[in-house]
């Protein structure tokens, strides 16, 4: 298992944002974590990445517990490289003063060390992997388009040779024609490298193209999980059914969806002890 999360809990003040959530990502597997805002999906991604500390539960990557403190530079680096993250907006997550090559070289120098020649070879390999050319290699983030910037962010994450890549709404800000390029790129990279994905998204249609398993989150809990194709074809939980019905398509009836949503909310309000 590249990732095993057991009984994760996280409370923010009165809000139980993550409520005993467990899941796993097989070696080279891809798990979609789907839900709407406030469902707890991003909090989970941040816990797995180590950006947030869980109140309870454990996260293991490749068998090592990520909750245990490590001492020393080598141990911390080894831990850092296990999991890398790609965010929604590459404009905010890339250093605006570094060119693509400089961004990648920094990560490689930190994790691999090596000679200048070896580092440059690794940079070329990464650029090739994400489909960036010479112009993009020498460019600053502001000189790149949104899709190209997201390719840089992916290359930077890959530079550390992670076991697990967390993609938090990584294609949500992209235009459709570019989004398709990145989705295909992500599928190719997983086939080539065997890196596991934790793909966090609000978009069920997108999840279909990058994941083989999916967990649907609602109010901090996983309400349905299974193989992506099976869940999308025959959702069992009313919330999953609502999410699927909410996606516009020919013959779509927004009024019926709105009614189903109110019914679900009313149901939950009466069930929950608050």
Partner 1 sequence: MNVLEVDGLTVVLPGGSHRPLVDGIALRIGAGEVVGLVGESGSGKSVTARSALGLFPARSRVTGSVRVAGTEVVGLAGEALRRLRAEQAAMIFQDPRASINPLRRVGDFLTEAVRTNRGWARARSRDRVVELLGEVGIADPGAAMRRYPHQFSGGMLQRVMIAAALAVDPMLLLADEPTTALDVSTQAEIVAILLRLQAERGMGMLFVTHDLELAASICHRIAVMYAGRIVEEQPADRLFRAPRHPYTQGLLAATPTLPSATGGAVQASGRLVPISGRPLSLTDTPPGCAFAPRCPRAIALCTATAPDLHSSGAERVACHRADESVGAGG
Residues in contact with partner 1 by CB under 8 A are 36-37, 145-148, 175-181, 183-184, 187, 202-206, 208-209, 229, 232-233, 242-252, 254-255, 257-258, 261
Backbone angles phi and psi of 84, in degrees to 5: -125, 155
Smallest gap, in angstroms, from Cβ of residue 37 to partner 1? Answer: 6
Q: Which is nearer to partner 1, 76 or 265 (CB)?
A: 265
Smallest gap, in angstroms, from Cβ of residue 180 to partner 1? Answer: 4
SS3 246: helix
* Helix (H) / strand (E) containing 156: helix 146-159
49-80 burial, b at 16+ Cβ within 10 Å, e below that, comes to: bbebebeebebbbeeeebeeeeeeeeeeeebb
Q: Which is nearer to partner 1, 108 or 204 (CB)?
A: 204
Smallest gap, in angstroms, from Cβ of residue 166 to partner 1? Answer: 20
Q: Which is nearer to partner 1, 36 or 106 (CB)?
A: 36
Smallest gap, in angstroms, from Cβ of residue 127 to partner 1? Answer: 17
Q: Which is nearer to partner 1, 140 or 180 (CB)?
A: 180
**What's the CA gap between 263 and 13, in Å, rounded?**
28
Q: Which is nearer to partner 1, 98 or 178 (CB)?
A: 178
Residue 53's region, left for phi above 0, alpha for psi from -120 to 50, else beta, is beta
Smallest gap, in angstroms, from Cβ of residue 207 to partner 1? Answer: 9
* Whether 33 contacts 204, CB under 8 Å: no
């Amino acid at each position: 298992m590249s990732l095993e999360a057991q009984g994760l809990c996280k409370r923010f003040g009165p809000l139980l944002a993550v409520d005993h959530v467990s899941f796993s990502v097989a070696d080279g597997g891809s798990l979609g974590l789907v839900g709407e805002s406030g469902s707890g999906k991003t909090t989970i991604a941040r816990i797995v990445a180590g950006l947030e500390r869980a109140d309870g539960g454990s996260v293991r990557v490749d068998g090592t517990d990520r909750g245990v403190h490590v001492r020393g530079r080598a141990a911390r680096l080894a831990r850092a490289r296990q999991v890398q993250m790609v965010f929604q907006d590459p404009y905010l997550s890339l250093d605006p003063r570094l060119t693509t090559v400089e961004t990648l070289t920094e990560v490689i120098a930190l994790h691999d060390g090596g000679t200048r020649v070896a580092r440059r070879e690794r940079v070329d390999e990464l650029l090739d992997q994400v489909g960036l050319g010479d112009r993009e290699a020498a460019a600053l983030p502001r000189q790149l388009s949104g899709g190209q910037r997201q390719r840089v962010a992916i290359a930077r994450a890959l530079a550390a040779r992670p076991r697990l890549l967390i993609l938090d709404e990584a294609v949500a800000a992209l235009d459709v024609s570019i989004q398709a390029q990145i989705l295909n790129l992500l599928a190719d990279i997983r086939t080539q490298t065997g890196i596991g994905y934790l793909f966090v998204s609000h978009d069920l249609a997108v999840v279909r193209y990058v994941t083989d398993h999916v967990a649907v989150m609602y109010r901090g809990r996983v309400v349905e999980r299974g193989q992506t194709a099976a869940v999308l074809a025959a959702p069992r939980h009313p919330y999953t059914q609502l999410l699927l019905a909410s996606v516009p398509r020919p013959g779509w009836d927004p009024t019926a969806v709105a009614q189903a949503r109110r019914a679900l909310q009313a149901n939950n309000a009466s069930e929950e002890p608050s």
